Amino acid sequence: MADIASKKRKRASKTPELLRGFRDVIQEEAPYWQHVQASATDLLLDYSYSEIQLPILEATSLFKRTIGEHTDIVSKEMFTFEDQGGDSITLRPELTAGMVRAYIEHGMFNRPQPVKMYSIGPAFRYERPQAGRYRQFNQLSVELFGDAQPVADAEVIFISYLLCKQLGLDVTIHINSLGSSESREDYVQLLKEYIKPKRSLLCEDCKKRITKNPLRLLDCKEEACRALFIQAPLLVDNLDDESKKHFVAVLEHLDESEVPYELDPYIVRGLDYYNRTAFEIVASVTNDAVEGEEATVTNLIVGGGGRYDGLVEILGGRNTPAIGMAFGLERLVSAFKKTKSGISSEKKPQVFLAQLGEEAAKHAFTLFETLRSNNIRVRANFGKTGLKPQLELADKLGVVYTVILGQKELLDQTVIIRDMENGIQEVVDLTKIVDEIKKRLKKGR
């Protein structure tokens, strides 16, 4: 007993750790995130996509009705709980459902169509954590409402491709058509008939999928199941005429705009709401060589999307065609880091401000702000008082000048400018410091 109690006490006093499947983005990694997000938003704004910010918590029914009760996400991966008022709420597992809700709730069908928007933020899925798969991850969701034409599908795919290209990634679009929901029903019958005699050879998950979500049979990752489906009838061979025409037109657009793609008849996507175009963006990523071995190349699915013409209506809105896609930002950032293209590093600081003594320390903020607000890239460590450690820091930062504010200078209303290369110091008027620094920086030293 005493043992259990002491174990419990120990556990309670241990520093709490990150939850499994969650991660921090620490200082060294954050600039890569900033770069990827800035590249994406610049591009999207140029193509007239506006940002929409949505809550992370939504009513559970929103996801049940859109993603589908029998999908993996809804049946086993959602973080769902009751709030204090007894309502069932869910941490969003993806962003599209919320965007559709917002489109209806804000009457966006009354705006000129198409309505083009994007949103960035966390999504949550209780999945088995593994490389590139987290329980909290971030998505960049891009959606285009109110245009049924193939050009809309092509636009979303083209922009997704452009972003990857801009980041230096080597990507191919894997694309398929899921047809209309009616043609899909006929196809599902064909698929069920094909698999019935082979049922005993399927994995346990696939056995359940036959009745609950038969299309998902096609993207099972088990080798044995995949082998069984090589001979299976394909969705693309069973499309209705309109969907076939639509698909061909999308591909023609991609050909014209030189977007590299591969037809992949096994893409069905994990969510129920897609029709016609479905695609995934596959990045070919070169991993660093480990000692004695060659670098390896792996394929990483950085994003995916498709058309979802029925979704607005499912949620009670008007019949509105729509197409969208989502990038997984963890994967996009990781693929980008491996390109080694680097990021424009923060511009180098030019000046260090060193203060000596208590009185000077009190004036340091004001002087720092004077320099900063005059576009001089200045750094300081307000907690340090001795000159030596401050000069060492200035050296480490590689600044050109250190401005020294001491007790005596404060009385005389002057400061010292120290040239960090040769150590030469000059006294200048405090009121002229900005001009003096700018003059020197302009001269090149």
Rank residues 304 and 406 by Cβ distance to ligand AMP and give the closer one: 304
Q: How far is the CB of 238 from ligand AMP (least distance, A)?
A: 23
| Structure tokens belonging to residue 310 | 């029925």
Q: State the maximum Cα–Cα separation within the chain, in Å, rounded to a whole number.
A: 96
Rank residues 193 and 262 by Cβ distance to ligand AMP and give the closer one: 262
Binding of residue 125 to ligand AMP (CB under 6 A): yes
Binding of residue 133 to ligand AMP (CB under 6 A): yes
Binding of residue 72 to ligand AMP (CB under 6 A): no
**Which amino acid appears at position 59 of this protein?**
A
Binding of residue 306 to ligand AMP (CB under 6 A): no
Q: How far apart are CA 435 and CA 135, in angstroms?
A: 53
Please identify which residue in 40, 206, 326, 404 interacts with ligand AMP, judged by CB under 6 A: 326
- Label the pairing between strands 378-380 and 351-355: parallel
Rank residues 23 and 377 by Cβ distance to ligand AMP and give the closer one: 23
- Choices 127-135, 158-166, 178-186, 392-400; region in contact with ligand AMP by CB under 6 A: 127-135
- Choices 132-140, 170-178, 215-223, 379-387; region in contact with ligand AMP by CB under 6 A: 132-140
Please identify which residue in 66, 71, 139, 355 interacts with ligand AMP, judged by CB under 6 A: 139
Binding of residue 401 to ligand AMP (CB under 6 A): no
Residues 158-187 close enough to bind ligand AMP by CB under 6 A: none
Classify residue 122 as exposed, middle or buried by CB count within 10 Å of its CB (0-12, 13-18, 19+): middle
Give just the sign of the alpha carbon dihedral 336, 341, 346, 352.
Answer: positive
> How many chain residues touch ligand AMP (CB under 6 A)?
17
Residues 79-108 close enough to bind ligand AMP by CB under 6 A: 94
Q: How far is the CB of 303 from ligand AMP (least distance, A)?
A: 5
Residues in contact with ligand AMP, shown as a per-residue x/- string from 267 to 296 under the rule CB under 6 A: ---x--------------------------
Binding of residue 328 to ligand AMP (CB under 6 A): yes
Residue 338's H or E segment, with its range, is helix 329-338
Q: How far is the CB of 268 from ligand AMP (least distance, A)?
A: 11
Q: What are phi and psi of 323, to 5 degrees?
A: -140, 145
The end-to-end CA distance of the chain, in Å, is 73
Q: 323 near 144, Cβ under 8 Å?
A: yes
Q: How far is the CB of 121 from ligand AMP (least distance, A)?
A: 12
Output the DSSP codes for 404-441. EE-HHHHHHTEEEEEETTT--EEEEEGGGHHHHHHHHH
Q: How far is the CB of 289 from ligand AMP (least distance, A)?
A: 25
Q: How far is the CB of 197 from ligand AMP (least distance, A)?
A: 32
Binding of residue 331 to ligand AMP (CB under 6 A): yes
Binding of residue 137 to ligand AMP (CB under 6 A): yes
| Structure tokens belonging to residue 397 | 């930062």
Output the DSSP codes for 95-127. SHHHHHHHHHHTTGGGSSSPEEEEEEEEEE---
Closest by CA position to 239, among listed 255, 254, 226, 251:
251
Binding of residue 114 to ligand AMP (CB under 6 A): no
- Choices 37-45, 128-136, 153-161, 370-378; region in contact with ligand AMP by CB under 6 A: 128-136
Rank residues 307 and 331 by Cβ distance to ligand AMP and give the closer one: 331
Please identify which residue in 68, 98, 304, 321 interacts with ligand AMP, judged by CB under 6 A: 304
Give just the sign of the alpha carbon dihedral 344, 350, 356, 360.
Answer: negative
| Structure tokens belonging to residue 3 | 């043992």
Q: How far is the CB of 55 from ligand AMP (least distance, A)?
A: 18
Q: How far is the CB of 125 from ligand AMP (least distance, A)?
A: 5
HSE-up (13 A, CA, CB side) for residue 215: 26
Q: How far is the CB of 94 from ligand AMP (least distance, A)?
A: 4
Rank residues 126 and 194 by Cβ distance to ligand AMP and give the closer one: 126
Q: How far apart are CA 416 and CA 424, in angstroms?
A: 10
Q: How far apart are CA 126 and CA 135, in angstroms?
A: 5
Rank residues 29 and 127 by Cβ distance to ligand AMP and give the closer one: 127
Give long-range contacts, CB 8 A cutoff, 24+ apart: 128-135: 129/20, 129/21, 132/300, 132/328, 132/330, 132/331, 132/334, 133/21, 134/21, 134/22, 134/23, 134/330, 135/19, 135/20, 135/21, 135/22
Q: How far apart are CA 278 and CA 174, in angstroms?
A: 8
Binding of residue 68 to ligand AMP (CB under 6 A): no
- Choices 112-120, 283-291, 323-331, 436-444; region in contact with ligand AMP by CB under 6 A: 323-331
Residues that bind ligand AMP (CB under 6 A): 94, 125, 127, 132-134, 137, 139, 270, 301-304, 326, 328, 330-331
